[in-house]
A and B are shown apart, each in its own frame.
Chain A
Amino acid sequence: MKILVPVKRVVDAYVKIRVKPDGSGLELANVKMSINPFDEIAIEEAVRLKEKGLATEVVVVSVGPAKSQEALRSAMAIGGDRGILVETAETDVIEPLAVAKILKAIADIEKPALVLMGKQAIDDDCNQTGQMLAALLGWPQGTFASKIAIDGGVIHVTREVDGGLETVKLKTPAIVTTDLRLNEPRYPTLPNIMKAKKKPLEIKTAADYGVNLAPRLKVLKTTEPPVRKAGIKVGSVAELVAKLKTDAGVL
């Protein structure tokens, strides 16, 4: 069973981003970038399946600028076997729909039994690509997975839903998107980081797959969210309750 794992290079989760004062976007120059945390969970899960003998090959894919090679190398340091970078221009805005179309074309060629991917990227917070890819391929989907079990041509996916947990049974090929508690990704070892540098990495373009990257959404402006007024410190629980009753009126 081959597993395809799409990964995205994003601003690191611990960076406090800044909005440009003119509303044109975000200050992203010289900001620390990392592999999207949910994608890291996806690659870890794929590698574990391979280690258990349930998968034969783990192919990692990224759609993004040349530097996305870093995300692919990170994914290969965890245990991905080879990489495909669909390189776009640094200035291109790549929407989930376009990524899903590229991934569909790659899935048509690679024919994985499973696509394992993050449920959302922590930059645009869209939470769309996996579901869109499932639609384009006509495959079943198990989103927000906290547990997966493979049983022949069937995958049992336990999903984190608003009311608790739900388990669905999917026929392969299928798409699974990962939630936080599926696993805890390993730290790659230095030998594995070195080895990853030598793993095959193919560079392609969106045109190779016949996909038009032109965005469908026009970003009119990007602004700061409203800032909360500074609050006060209270000295005791009694004072807190009194303030909530009288000043705030919420008790």
Chain B
Amino acid sequence: MATLLLADHTNKALGSATAKALTAAKALGADVHILVAGHDCQAAAAAAQLAGVSKVLVADAPHYAHALPEEVAPLIVSLMGAYTAVVAAGTTTGKNILPRVAALLDVMQVSDIIAVHAPDTFDRPIYAGNAIQTVQVADAKKVLTVRTAAFAAAAVGGAATIETITGPAAAGGAEFENAELTVSDRPELTAAKIIISGGRGMGNGENFTKLIEPVADKLGAAMGASRAAVDAGFVPNDWQVGQTGKIVAPELYIAVGISGQIQHLAGMKDSKVIVAINKDGDAPIFQVADYGLVADLFQALPELDAELKR
């Protein structure tokens, strides 16, 4: 029996999280089929090109346009007779839909897996990543969300067959109204190789634009923030890195004016190289930093910008 992977997509394009979740799905050892549920959706071709996918199922209907869990969960449940596991990236979409599927199947979901030991045995972080639990699933069907920062993206180079399917009729009850999505030319936080994040020490939102943005431009970096900076209204919610925000693991993470509370560390401590710039030499962020600079960020950031220009 095969594994079903729920694609993350915008209808126009496949999300970068899908290729990472695919790596986890393949580790279960069975054939992987990708489900693309959307409307006027062009993401199936990209899904079919991912290496190691044998089939792409496309459910295209108006009620799948916005990945509403009330609609997508019954669709997945209707397919699960043929699958032993359903996997989704731990994005806000996956987190929204999969527990609904698990309950309908009467299965206990394993959230945010970071390692696959066997088709029924997984590692997952608890307590903001301060402990790792190894769990074995007793249920016959597995329902898993994947912490994408823990898995490399699967390569392209496959040629899966694409099959159109029809799901259950619209359930109703929930309706999409509108979205205010951040439009940016920068890489997405969860896909970026370099991230520069600011904290409460930035003082206000203008300083993000004035001081962090030029550095991010030169590095081709994504911009992030601590919860404190988001709560203070400096930057939008989707910039938040941390336990309950985005979990990232870039090649280089630069934390500026961030003290390093455990909730923030939970979101970035698996980065390959961590740089901390903070004027408080005792800030906990320095305990996880590979390179720490005790300095006033209002001097250090312009200097960093100038240094990168050279």
Q: A-side interface residues toward B, CB under 8 Å?
A: 11, 13, 16-17, 19, 26, 38, 95-97, 100, 119-120, 122-136, 139-144, 146, 156, 159-171, 174, 179-181, 215-225, 228-238, 240-241, 243-244, 248, 250-251
A232 touches B292 (CB 8 A): yes
A216 touches B139 (CB 8 A): yes
Which residues of chain A are within 8 angstroms of B112 by Cβ–Cβ distance? Answer: 125
A222 touches B132 (CB 8 A): yes
With A131-B96, A141-B70, A156-B177 already in contact, the answer to whether A26 and B273 are too (CB < 8 A) is no
Main secondary structure of the interface of B (DSSP, over half): mixed
B252 touches A244 (CB 8 A): yes
A237 touches B293 (CB 8 A): yes
Q: How large is the interface on B (under 10, 10 to 19, 20 to 34, 35 or more residues)?
A: 35 or more
Q: B-side interface residues toward A, CB under 8 Å?
A: 66, 68-70, 73, 91-93, 95-104, 106-112, 121, 125-139, 172-182, 188, 190, 194, 219, 227, 230-231, 236-238, 243-244, 246, 251-252, 262-263, 269, 272-275, 281, 286-295, 300, 303-304, 307-308
**Which residue of the partner chain B has the closest CB to A123?**
B127
- Alpha-carbon separation in the docked complex, A166 to B238 (Å): 11
With A97-B108, A232-B292 already in contact, the answer to whether A131 and B179 are too (CB < 8 A) is no
**Which residue of the partner chain B has the closest CB to A216?**
B108
Partner of B128, one of A125, A164, A165: A125
B99 touches A132 (CB 8 A): yes
- Alpha-carbon separation in the docked complex, A238 to B95 (Å): 42
- Would you list 9 pairs from A and B whose C-beta atoms are within 8 A, ordered by A residue? A97-B106, A122-B244, A123-B126, A160-B92, A180-B231, A220-B135, A231-B292, A233-B293, A244-B273
With A169-B177, A231-B289, A238-B307 already in contact, the answer to whether A122 and B238 are too (CB < 8 A) is no
- Alpha-carbon separation in the docked complex, A251 to B26 (Å): 32
Which residues of chain A are within 8 angstroms of B98 by Cβ–Cβ distance? Answer: 131
Which residues of chain A are within 8 angstroms of B68 by Cβ–Cβ distance? Answer: 168
**Which residue of the partner chain A has the closest CB to B178?**
A167
Which residues of chain B are within 8 angstroms of A17 by Cβ–Cβ distance? Answer: 127, 130-131
Which residues of chain A are within 8 angstroms of B287 by Cβ–Cβ distance? Answer: 228, 230
With A100-B103, A166-B179, A216-B138 already in contact, the answer to whether A131 and B69 are too (CB < 8 A) is yes
Which residues of chain B are within 8 angstroms of A132 by Cβ–Cβ distance? Answer: 99-100, 102-103
How many whole Å from B104's CB to the nearest CB in chain A? 5
